[in-house]
Amino acid sequence: MLAAMFFKLLAVPFLAATHVFAAQNSLQQVTNFGSNPTNVGMYVYRPTGLAAKPALIVAIHYCSGTAQAYFSGTQYANLADSLKNFLVIYPNAPDSGGCWDVHTAATLTHNAGGDSLGIASMIRYAIANYAVDAARVYVTGTSSGAMMTNVLAGAYPDLFVAGSAWAGVPYSCFSGAGMWNSACATGTISKTGQQWGDLVRSGYPGYTGARPKMQIWHGTQDEILNYNNHGEGIKQWTNVFGYSSTPVSTQTNNPLSGWTRNTYGPNFQAISAPTTHNIPVQANEVLTWFGLIGGTSGTSTTLPPTTTATSTTVIPTTTPTQTPGGPSQVQYGQCGGNGWTGPTVCQSPFSCKVLNAYYHQVS
């Protein structure tokens, strides 16, 4: 009942003006970019001095988040400024709770509709208008954004080279149950690898091309999307790539102390972290997996590690009290709301503003 009250779709008005070419060094909205049946918002960040034929990262926010919050709360824009070899698209969910459609048959199927088609249209637009290298398009996201990362990898494998999903669920795990699927969220849905793999293959019937390589991350103490989903995701992607469910290598304390990286083959990794749902995103690790910075995933990279936490709750419960002396939240990060279990104290000089009952933001 609570979930049903929380997750209601909102039709965002479609803006008439179009930014034909997004300005550099600022987050710019782009409209009229192609087929977009659910009115997903498109926001683009292009660093100055961007290389010719740049790569593209699609960075997808968490439930109750926004494109602006993910832009400010992750390091992808800063890394784009430093590296100048990629630009970033930050989609904005049209749902009133800021969550992504990862459950309808339309969004789970190639070119059939839903939020996924709007994001696919953004990519096609960027390739046509920003000289993006179509062979270097990548997708990443957190929580609901991680779910959409899996959806896009299944329904649009022709558009992506690689994906990195942080605290999500397998492709099609939320299928048919509405915006919230308690069975999937609590980790009670279990399928064979073949069944999970068949679901991915059903996203684009008849597709025989290459699949984007995948990397999934999950907190062992995840209280929102149960850690069992990590194991189900491993079943899914090892089946898709034809790998054994036994990793070919295991690295402990990698990339951080207490974290464990299991590699199943060149196209799939699964990393466990001793965290709750609010897993701190390691943006440099994502870029290494994508091949946009040097080294190989699991080794040190050319840039210092980033650990910005951006994940958020996806179902209302109660608001806890912040422990004195605990961590503080950065600007545009979540700092409260029903179900929030992360920091409620903001970094100076910012304060916590109530946006709605479920999402308070540092601003």
Catalytic sites, residue numbers: 143
**Could you tell me where the beta strands, DSSP code E, fall in the chain?**
27-30, 41-45, 55-60, 86-92, 137-142, 162-166, 213-219, 249-252, 260-265, 268-273, 280-281, 308-309, 328-329, 334-336, 345-346, 352-356, 359-362
Which residue matches tokens 């070899």?
85
Contacts of 227 (CB under 8 A, 6+ apart): 187, 218, 219, 220, 221, 272
Strand partners, 17: none
Q: Could you count the other beta carbons within 10 Å of the beta carbon of residue 271?
A: 25
Which residue matches tokens 């390589």?
213
Strand partners, 328: 345
Does the CA dihedral 284-146-189-107 come out positive or negative? negative
**What are the Cα distances from residue 28, in Å, to 25, 98, 134?**
9, 19, 21
Q: Residues 204, 183, 309, 64: what is their CA dihedral angle, to the nearest 10 degrees?
A: 80
Q: Could you count the other beta carbons within 10 Å of the beta carbon of residue 294?
A: 12
Length of the chain: 363
- For 147, the 3-state DSSP assignment is helix
Q: Are 157 and 149 in contact (CB under 8 A)?
A: no
Select from 149, 20, 172 the least CA-distant residue to 91. Answer: 149
Phi, psi angles (nearest 5°) of residue 238: -65, -35
How far is residue 346's CA from residue 334's CA, in Å, rounded to a whole number? Answer: 9
Q: Could you count the other beta carbons within 10 Å of the beta carbon of residue 193?
A: 17
